[in-house]
Amino acid sequence: MRKAGGSVRVTAQMIDASTGAHVWAERYDRSSEDIFALQDEIALAAVGAIAPSVRKAEIERVRRKRPGSLDAYDLVLQAQPDVDSGMPDQVTRALVLLERALALEPAYALAHGNAAMCHHCLFLRAGLQEINRASSIRHARSAIVHGQDDALALTWAGFSIGMDAHDRAGAFAALEAALAISPSSALTYILGSVMLGWSGEAERAIEWSEQGMRLSPFDSWAWAAFDAQAMSHLLHGRYEEACRAAYKSVQANPAHSITYVQLAAALAKLGRLDEARAAAARVIELQPGFRYSRQFAGVNCAPALSNCLGEALEIAGLPE
C-alpha cells in the first residue's frame, strides 16, 4: 500500500501456496478518506476470486476417492460440474448423485438446491414437462426450509422459484437472504441478473451481471451473466453490445443452447443473416425441440422482450 497526499494505492495479489501459481491480482486507487469502503471492496474481490478455485480443488479431491466412500457432501461436489452445464444429459447424470446424497441426508439443503436447478434445466430443455417443473419447485422449497444459513442453497432455490414457479418476488427474497449471508456470492448476482433480464428489467439485469463478474471473473456460470447482458441490450436496441455479450456467452459455454439464441437474435437485428442462421442451426442441434414461444412462456418472459426476441429469431429461422 502506498500513499500520496489524500490518495492511496493498494496492490493485492493472491498466490496458490501449494503450487506458487498466480490466482488473482488487482490494483485499487482511492481516496484515503474512503479507506474502510476500500477495505470491504478488496475483501469481497478476494473472496470472489478464490471461491471458484477452492471449489475446483475440492471437486478434483472427490474424484480421487473410491465411489463407495463418498458422503453426501462429496456426492454434491461430484455432481456440480454436470449441474453447471445446464443441459439435459449432464444434469440427468448429476441427479443420480444428488439423489444418493439426499438418501444419505434428506435435509441437505445444497443437494436440494442443485436438484432444483437440474429439474429446471430438464423442464426448459427437455420438453417442458410438468413433472420437471414441479420437481424443481419442490426441491427449491426444501432448500429454503433447510438452508436458511446456506447462501448457495438459497441462490439455487430462488432461481427455481423465480423461473419455474414464476414468483419473482419470492425468488428475490431468497436471493437477498443469500446476499445477507454472503455478500461476495457471485452466483447470486449472476442468476439474479438472468431473472431480471427475462423480466425486462434490462438496466438492473446488466448491473447485477456486472457485479457478479466483478466478484468472480472466471465463474463457471459466467455465460449466464453474459446471456443476461445480451438480452438486456437487445431489448433497448443496442445490437452491437448485445452481439458482443452473446459471443462472450457462447465462448464461456459453447455446449449450451440458450447462448446461441441470443447470438442468433443479435445477428439478425444487425442484418448478418447468414451468421444468424448458423447460430440458429446450432440451437436446434443442441436442443432439437426448441420452440421460442414455448421457451418464452416457460420462463415468463416480459412481453416487450418476447416481441423483440421473437421477431429476430423468426428472421434467423428458428421455429415459433
Name the residue type at position 245.
Answer: A
What nine digits make up the cell of 158?
Answer: 430462488
Q: Where are the alpha helices (DSSP H) in the chain?
A: 35-63, 72-85, 88-104, 109-125, 130-146, 151-164, 168-181, 186-198, 202-215, 222-235, 239-252, 257-269, 273-286, 292-298, 303-316
Give the three-state DSSP class for 86: coil
User: How far is 304 from 76, CA to CA, in rounded Å?
Assistant: 38
What nine digits make up the cell of 192?
Answer: 439474479
pLDDT at position 243 is 97
Residue 180, number of CB atoms within 10 A of its CB: 10
Domains and CATH numbers, the chain: 1-61 (no CATH), 65-183 (1.25.40.10), 185-320 (1.25.40.10)
Q: Give the pLDDT of the chain (320 residues) as one tens digit per residue.
A: 888 888 888 888 878 787 787 777 888 888 877 778 878 877 777 777 677 767 777 777 666 666 565 688 889 988 998 998 888 999 999 999 999 999 999 999 999 999 999 999 999 988 889 999 999 999 999 999 999 999 999 999 999 999 999 999 999 999 999 999 988 899 999 999 999 999 999 999 999 999 999 888 888 899 999 999 999 999 999 999 999 999 999 999 999 999 999 999 999 999 999 999 999 999 999 999 999 999 999 999 999 999 999 999 999 999 99
Cell match 421457451: residue? Answer: 295
Cell match 457432501: residue? Answer: 73
pTM, 2 dp: 0.85
Tell me, letter by letter, the H, E, C secondary structure of 205-239: HHHHHHHHHHHCCCCCCHHHHHHHHHHHHHHCCCH
User: How far is 109 from 1, CA to CA, in rounded Å?
Assistant: 41
Contact (Cβ atoms closer than 8 angstroms) between residue 14 and residue 47: no
User: How far is 97 from 140, CA to CA, in rounded Å?
Assistant: 17
Cell match 473472496: residue? Answer: 47
User: How far is 34 from 32, CA to CA, in rounded Å?
Assistant: 5
End-to-end CA distance of the chain: 57
What nine digits make up the cell of 51?
Answer: 471461491
Q: Which residues contact 280 (CB under 8 A, 6 or more apart)?
A: 260, 264, 313, 316, 317, 318
Name the residue type at position 270.
Answer: L
User: How far is 177 from 148, CA to CA, in rounded Å?
Assistant: 8
